[in-house]
């Protein structure tokens, strides 16, 4: 396998007209994705011309650009998994199908890239190849019948929440957000997330932080083994400064920003000395770094999602879907206006859900206007999208609202809201800090799923029913803000979704009704398992 060149620093975002064109393109792409697994010849001919304008700009005048080659043959994983599928085999079924399809369909494209002398990296969680090349390489690939689209793999800056008030040793007991969603009530029943694995895709993690080390899957209480527990998708400079506080291709977890340590802490953190910052302190965690000091690329995002589908060792060998996490916290965005690849990333998110991995995804901090849930992966139907509330259950001013207009779906988002204002959690340097953002809200939902799945083994890996239980049991919240045709005080709505997360109510709801014989209260679109 060859290694691609370092991504170039992104150019200035396109103007409004280009953005509208992108939105129309993304809408068409999302609509066709589900039916283009093996498209007819007439459809393929149309899509041969679908080269992202940014790829053309990046390869103008003899320049070399970074791009993703999206193959026509995408595995229809939703057809592989039914409500009756053995949950123990669910991950293996999806993994085997995805890897076999990629091995078969990528061979000819890889040979072509070898002949062109273009470096590349291959993926199977979505059937894509990340490559570097000039315009001649792009033109040659775009002319192939087996290539669906060529998307940009530019680097982009992710608007991460910044440190507000760092403290080092100030235990405050159970944090307010953890109490607000009634997590301690499940602890008192004996359910703390035991047996469940949480995964964090972010800026990395300070793995030996006192609130995190006891819960790390790579720690046995005496020594660390980072195989199948950590992967670094940042192999070279992404943000253009030619340096990184932690380094590249790390063999042990490190956080070059602080954001990843904070979000991990909110899901599972507890130092045993009064800093009860996490919702599910009995769960274990693994992690993958997908950003270089707050800069990412579509391919680094996809690489981490592939690691979560079937974690591998530090040599990227021995991938094992039985070691995949149960729930993933995704507190980042992938803005199309800055180079996100909507087709590739959506396919990866869809396939993780098909494998029984719950994806708790932050809604974004572009509020308070309507239709501001506008960036992948929050816009996807397969994502469980989370907005942010304060200690009084009021929506945060920054929390993005629905509907999702950018892809033309107008689907209702967010799905839920959770505490996301002034959330205290772990921070590099063995300290703690307070941050506000939807990045802080999504880990509360991820932790709540860990609690529910530890309490109800029959619910584990059943993402559809879990999502339905969470939305049915959430605390109803209404608003005078009328987004997407909502009436004032309508419920559910495009501001709070189905309401504020309440894990105790969810526990009681599932204890009352159990597993249904069908998937209930779900959108009629794609929910993928």
Catalytic residues: 202, 259, 439
Cis peptide before 189 (omega within 30 of 0): no
Sign of CA dihedral 382, 508, 494, 496: negative
287 with 197: CB under 8 angstroms?
Answer: no
Q: How far is CA 65 from CA 2, 109, 233, 340, in A?
A: 16, 18, 19, 14
**Closest alpha carbon to 384 in 340, 339, 432, 418:** 418
Cβ contacts of 409 within 8 Å, gap of 6 or more? 27, 30, 379, 381, 403, 525
19 with 25: CB under 8 angstroms?
Answer: no
Q: What's the token pair of residue 392?
A: 């009084």
**Closest alpha carbon to 504 in 286, 279, 300:** 279
Sign of CA dihedral 332, 338, 340, 343: positive
Question: Using CA atoms, how far apart are residues 16 and 468, in angstroms rounded to an integer?
Answer: 37
Cβ contacts of 315 within 8 Å, gap of 6 or more? none
Q: Where are the beta strands (DSSP E) in 235-372?
A: 275-276, 284-289, 295-296, 327-330, 358-362
């Amino acid at each position: 396998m060859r290694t691609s060149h370092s991504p170039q620093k992104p150019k200035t975002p396109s103007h409004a007209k280009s953005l509208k064109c992108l939105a129309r393109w993304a809408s068409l792409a999302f609509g066709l994705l589900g039916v283009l697994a093996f498209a007819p010849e007439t459809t393929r001919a149309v899509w041969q011309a679908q080269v992202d304008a940014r790829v053309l700009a990046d390869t103008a005048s003899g320049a070399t650009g970074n791009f993703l080659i999206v193959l026509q043959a995408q595995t229809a994983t939703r057809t592989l998994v039914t409500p009756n599928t053995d949950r123990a085999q669910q991950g293996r079924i999806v993994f085997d199908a995805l890897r076999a399809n990629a091995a078969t369909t990528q061979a000819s494209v890889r040979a072509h890239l070898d002949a062109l002398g273009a470096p590349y990296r291959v993926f199977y969680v979505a059937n894509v190849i990340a490559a570097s090349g000039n315009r001649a390489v792009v033109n040659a690939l775009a002319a192939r019948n087996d290539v669906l689209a060529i998307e940009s793999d530019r680097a982009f800056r992710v608007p991460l929440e910044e440190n507000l008030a760092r403290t080092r040793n100030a235990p405050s007991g159970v944090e307010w957000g953890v109490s607000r969603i009634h997590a301690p009530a499940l602890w008192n029943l004996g359910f703390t997330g035991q047996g469940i694995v949480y995964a964090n895709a972010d800026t990395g993690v300070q793995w030996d932080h006192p609130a995190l080390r006891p819960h790390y899957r790579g720690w046995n209480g005496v020594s660390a083994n980072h195989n199948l527990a950590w992967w670094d998708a940042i192999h070279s400079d992404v943000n253009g400064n030619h340096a990184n506080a932690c380094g590249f291709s790390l063999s042990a977890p490190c956080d070059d920003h602080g954001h990843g340590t904070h979000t991990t802490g909110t899901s599972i953190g507890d130092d045993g000395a009064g800093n009860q910052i996490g919702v599910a302190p009995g769960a274990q965690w693994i992690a993958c770094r997908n950003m270089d000091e707050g800069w990412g690329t579509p391919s680094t995002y996809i690489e981490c999602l592939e690691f979560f589908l079937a974690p591998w060792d530090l040599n990227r060998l021995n991938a094992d879907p039985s070691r995949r996490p149960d729930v993933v916290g995704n507190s980042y965005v992938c803005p199309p206006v800055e180079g996100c690849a909507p087709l590739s990333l959506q396919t990866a998110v869809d396939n993780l859900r098909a494998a029984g991995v719950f994806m708790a995804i932050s809604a974004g901090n572009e509020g308070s206007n309507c239709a501001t849930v506008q960036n992948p992966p929050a816009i996807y139907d397969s994502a469980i999208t989370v907005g942010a509330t304060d200690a009084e259950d009021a929506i945060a001013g920054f929390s993005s609202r629905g509907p999702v207009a950018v892809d033309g779906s107008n689907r209702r988002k967010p799905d839920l809201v959770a505490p996301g204002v002034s959330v205290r959690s772990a921070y590099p340097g063995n300290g703690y800090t307070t941050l506000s953002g939807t990045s802080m809200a999504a880990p509360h939902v991820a932790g709540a799923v860990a609690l529910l799945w530890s309490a109800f083994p029959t619910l584990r890996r059943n993402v559809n029913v879990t999502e339905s239980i969470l939305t049915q049991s959430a605390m109803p919240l209404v608003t005078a803000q009328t987004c997407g045709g909502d009436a004032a005080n309508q419920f559910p709505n495009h501001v709070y979704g189905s309401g504020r997360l309440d894990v105790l109510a969810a526990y009681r709801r599932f204890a009352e009704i159990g597993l249904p014989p069908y998937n209930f209260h779900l959108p009629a679109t794609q929910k993928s398992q």
